[in-house]
Amino acid sequence: MLMLRIVVLFLSLSLLSSCRNEDPADPVTPMDVDLILVNGKVVTVDDDFSIHEVLVVDGGRIVATGDASLLVQYRSSAVTDLKGKTVLPGFYDSHTHIRGRALRFIDLGDLSSISELQGLIKQKAQQLGAGEWITGYGWSEDELAEERRPLRDDLDQAAPNNPVILTRAGGHSAVANSLALDLAEIDRNTPDPEGGVIERDSDGALNGIIRERQEIVGRLVPSATYDELLASLQVNLTALFSKGITSFTDASKTPQDYERWEALYANEELALPRASLQFQWHDPEAITELKERVGDGNDRLKIGPIKVFADGGFTGPAAYTLEPYRDQGDYRGYLNMPAGELADLLNEVHDAGWQMGIHAIGDAAIQLVVDTLSETLERSPRDDHRHYLNHFSMRPPEATMQKMAVHSIHITQQPNFTYTLEGRYVANLDGWRLEHNNPVRSPMSHGIVVALSSDILPIGPMVGLYSAVTRQGMSGRVYGPDEAIAMEEAIRAYTMTSAYLNFDEHARGSLEPGKLADMIVLSDDLLTVDPDRIRDVQVEQTYLGGQLVFER
């Protein structure tokens, strides 16, 4: 009935306005605009989390939200009847990784078995020919039928005449075949690299797994061509629209990468999600020169924070923990550099005036980074610095969270890890640490700003929203229900808070007048859908600046 009333009202007003237009002096002639969405549930994510029926867009920005009375004020040749569907701001993924890939690359994100992996490797070997490197990304033993990791022998069977290295989902470990290890001159006598592990079986033979320092093999892989990377990058960026992502922060780039992205984004005719690129502090002079040339960038592509790695990841595991890992002796993971060097680096980047996004996963790494940043900010206060921690996978001591709140040290959290990395947490953590992996409620309750993001595990926001609300792993087990948050909070953290983290809150993150018309239409209402069905909710349409850029 509501839809019928709105349609009838709209037609009546259109007829009335056409009659009134015969009198040029009539003061109530509606304003022409580019787009009007009617008969929907428009979730604005403003301060009051207001919900409206109508949204008006002109010049790429939102003009108004409200009820059907707006149709008296505005008219458009493009009126979309939402038929009751829910509209949200486009998701803002504040920590992910988007890359162009070489022809030698295999996407392993949907892999279901090692036998399937072997088939993909064989196909690629036939395509490339003997001797050519084969690379790939995205396998996870937790999703494989064999319930184990692919190892050196598995790869040897599939491609004995091609060097192969395949990176696990998350990027913190990889498996290489015998030929790749031989070319890298790695054998059973090779010592572990600093900060990494070369795994061996009980007899001391290499099993092909390298944790954290897979570049000891990956350095030999030939670089892709510029054209290969650019074409693949465009495809991978455009694919984000189908997931409802209209803005994102890429969390590890170089000034040279920025120039490649700049060439792609220079084509104004090309619809691409809005990107902010983090840089690592390997070459501060190059970063400074880039900033002097491009400034902060623009609303399509801009320079983001500086990325700092404090410790390793959980897929190894190598995250730096306060207590030893489960059943692993006194092993506590690694810092990415000595504590003194890390402190010097954090101080250097802060004093240079940059915002930082700091990779800190283990509770010991989090504690160390927060203690250091607190001292830095007390020594050299800076208004609105917005430094933040990437990941925050293990809940640190209460005193650490209290310091974060006092010094406005924020978080971009990946609750989807609780789902996709469940097997890694169960294998490596126990008790209270296991239950409180990827905490969300506790830092929020301490007054810490928490944004949500994906880190490509997987990149789709629905898994993150599902995990934040239900705290369920892949098995269905609930971990630490006291860390769950409400869907309204999760949506805000994946939109408005992520925009805030990137200094974009005045232009993105909510559907308020004056902001960019980046928005999505969903198949179901996330605010009322059964929590068990959150992962099944689909993005039906994505708009960027008021333009339809994806339709399912």
Domain assignment of residue 100, yes or no: no
Residues near 428 by Cβ (< 8 Å), separated by ≥ 6?
A: 314, 317, 325, 326, 328
Last residue of a domain, one of 49, 84, 119: 84
Q: What's the confidence (pLDDT) of residue 16? A: 40
546 pLDDT more than 90: yes
**Cβ proximity of 280 and 304 under 8 Å:** no
Q: What is the CATH number of the domain that holds 69?
A: 2.30.40.10
Task: State pTM to two decimals.
Answer: 0.85
11 pLDDT more than 90: no
134 pLDDT more than 80: yes
Q: For the CA atoms of the chain, what is the radius of gyration?
A: 25
Domain assignment of residue 336, yes or no: yes
Domain assignment of residue 465, yes or no: yes
CA pair distance 127, 481, nearest whole angstrom? 49
Same domain for 36 and 119, yes or no, is no
Last residue of a domain, one of 218, 236, 252: 218
Last residue of a domain, one of 218, 244, 278: 218
Range of the domain at 232: 226-551
19 pLDDT more than 50: no
pLDDT tens digit string along 463-520?
A: 999 999 999 999 999 999 999 999 999 999 999 999 999 999 999 999 999 999 999 9
How sure is the predictor about 17, in pLDDT bands with cuts at 50, 70 and 90? very low
pLDDT tens digit string along 65-115?
A: 999 999 999 999 999 999 999 999 999 999 999 988 888 999 898 899 999
Strands (E), 347-398: 356-360, 388-391
Is the alpha carbon torsion for 440, 441, 447, 451 positive or negative? positive
2 pLDDT more than 70: no
CA pair distance 157, 358, nearest whole angstrom? 40
Same domain for 207 and 309, yes or no, is no
Q: What's the confidence (pLDDT) of residue 288? A: 94
pLDDT tens digit string along 442-457?
A: 999 999 999 999 998 8
Same domain for 20 and 138, yes or no, is no
Domain assignment of residue 504, yes or no: yes
Q: What's the confidence (pLDDT) of residue 26? A: 56
Same domain for 366 and 416, yes or no, is yes
Same domain for 349 and 419, yes or no, is yes
Same domain for 305 and 246, yes or no, is yes
Q: What is the mean pLDDT of residues 226-238?
A: 91
529 pLDDT more than 80: yes
Q: What is the mean pLDDT of residues 293-321?
A: 92
**Of 449 and 7, which is predicted with more confidence?**
449
Same domain for 395 and 487, yes or no, is yes
Can you name the residues that pair with 200 across neighbouring β-strands?
Answer: 206
Is the preceding omega at residue 513 within 30 degrees of 0, hence cis? Answer: no
Can you name the residues that pair with 516 across neighbouring β-strands?
Answer: 61
Domain assignment of residue 92, yes or no: no
Same domain for 450 and 388, yes or no, is yes
Same domain for 190 and 293, yes or no, is no
| DSSP symbols for 41-56 | EEE--STT--EESEEE
* Amino acid letter, residue 512: E
pLDDT tens digit string along 31-78?
A: 999 999 999 999 999 999 999 999 999 999 999 999 999 999 999 999
248 pLDDT more than 70: yes
Average pLDDT score over the chain: 93
CA pair distance 123, 359, nearest whole angstrom? 36
pLDDT tens digit string along 331-347?
A: 999 999 999 999 999 99
**Of 413 and 5, which is predicted with more confidence?**
413
CA pair distance 462, 416, nearest whole angstrom? 9
245 pLDDT more than 50: yes
Same domain for 54 and 109, yes or no, is no
Helices (H) and strands (E) in the chain, counts: 19, 26
Q: What is the CATH number of the domain that holds 277?
A: 3.20.20.140
pLDDT cut 90: percent of the chain above it: 85
Q: What's the confidence (pLDDT) of residue 27? A: 61
10 pLDDT more than 90: no
CA distances from 131 to 124, 128, 179 (A): 12, 8, 9
Q: What's the confidence (pLDDT) of residue 227? A: 87
Domain assignment of residue 90, yes or no: no
Task: Give phi and psi for 230, each to the nearest 5.
Answer: -65, -45
Is the alpha carbon torsion for 366, 371, 375, 377 positive or negative? positive
Q: In 10 A of CB 235, how many CB atoms?
A: 10
Domain assignment of residue 499, yes or no: yes
Domain assignment of residue 458, yes or no: yes
Q: What is the CATH number of the domain that holds 211?
A: 3.10.310.70
Q: What's the confidence (pLDDT) of residue 219? A: 95
If you count them, how many residues does the chain have?
A: 552
CA pair distance 359, 371, nearest whole angstrom? 15
Tally the domains of the chain. 3
Q: What's the confidence (pLDDT) of residue 457? A: 83
Same domain for 128 and 273, yes or no, is no
Same domain for 80 and 112, yes or no, is no
